[in-house]
Amino acid sequence: MKVTKSLFGKTNEGVEVDLFTLSNDNQVTVKITNYGAIVTSIVTPDKNGELTNIACGFEKLEDYLSPQYLGSYPYFGCVCGRCCNRIDKGQFTLEGKKYALAVNNGPNHLHGGLIGYDRRFWSGEMIKETAKVGVKLTLLSPDMEEGYPGNMKITCTYTLNNLNELGIEYTAETHQTTIVNLTNHTYFNLTGGRENIKNHELELTAEKFNDTVDAIPTGKILSVEGTPFNFLVKKKLGQDLDQLPEGYDLNFVLDNEEGEMVYAGSLSEETSGRIVEVYTTQPGIQLYTGYWIPELTIDGNKKFGSYSGVALETQHYPDSINKPHFPPVTLAPGQAFNEKTVYTFGVK
């Protein structure tokens, strides 16, 4: 196993951006940049040993910064925060004080605002251990950045081992009571982009999901039984899409409020034989089948578009701060925030 650091590119302002490459002894390679803590690439072998990148991303920094990409921004591979997912009307009350955040997704706040952690520069430190390699990324988020209270220090540690486990661990501490909900927004396509994800098969252990209106939870938690949201027995993502004009984009309830490391589900694809298993300490997982992913022209070639990737975003529920019966997202001084997710890559 090894980890290396190289220059990924420079921003328009001349800021140098790093790329960290993690590789194990099984030909699994994961690339991560300190811009947005973005996973740019996950290369794994298929059932015939053919190596392909199974994550939606770019080989050059300039593509992440291009107006074409940012104009219909799908958050490829990044860490979303201070609060991922949506907050109703961008408003919440904390310790009796009202806060107003950017409204950047219809009438709501999404993924931390106009410049969330996905567009910040993190400091990186390589990890080289006997059992794993990785990179520890650190970010200081100042008081009232994007409207959130409290100076907060965040770490996101990516590790890869010879069990083909990509670990993502978050920690955070604050000097003032605040809210925090972190996720990684990698989109998977187990064919390496040769086909869309409608024939991918998904299994989720979740028996319930958040009822929503216009993507905001109503507060009700409903059974998946008899709905298109039932993945208790694995099925193709495209099987029930005719009932969902914009595909899947909702949070599934994992019944894991104690924060244990639990199996959440698996994504597989028959022609490649690839499978990704998801384990997490988080109480929820957002399934997003990428209806709004834009079609982009990269180096003269058309790439991506609707259903070109599927995101399995482990998280606390959307709009939790405004739903007192949801798992809490508040963090007070002296409290430790710690969440971990593991994606395990293999072949059937």
CA distance 104 to 293: 17
Catalytic status, residue 185: yes
9, 73, 115, 316 from 13: Cα distances, Å: 11, 21, 16, 35
Q: Omega of the bond prior to 194 within 30 degrees of 0, cis? A: no
Specify the length of the chain in residues. 348
CA-CA-CA-CA torsion sign (34, 38, 41, 44): positive
Asked whether the beta carbons of 79 and 121 are under 8 A apart, the reply is: no
Token representation of residue 8: 């990924």
Q: Which one is catalytic: 173, 203, 269, 313?
A: 313
Asked whether the beta carbons of 286 and 60 are under 8 A apart, the reply is: no
Token representation of residue 155: 């770490």
What is the DSSP-derived secondary structure letter of residue 300?
T
Q: Which amino acid is at 253?
A: V
Q: Among 218, 180, 140, 217, which residue's Cα sits nearest to residue 315?
A: 180
Q: Among 157, 154, 155, 156, which residue's Cα sits nearest to residue 134?
A: 157
Q: Which one is catalytic: 145, 146, 173, 185?
A: 185
Q: Which residue has the tokens 């396509």?
A: 189
Annotated active-site positions, please? Answer: 185, 313
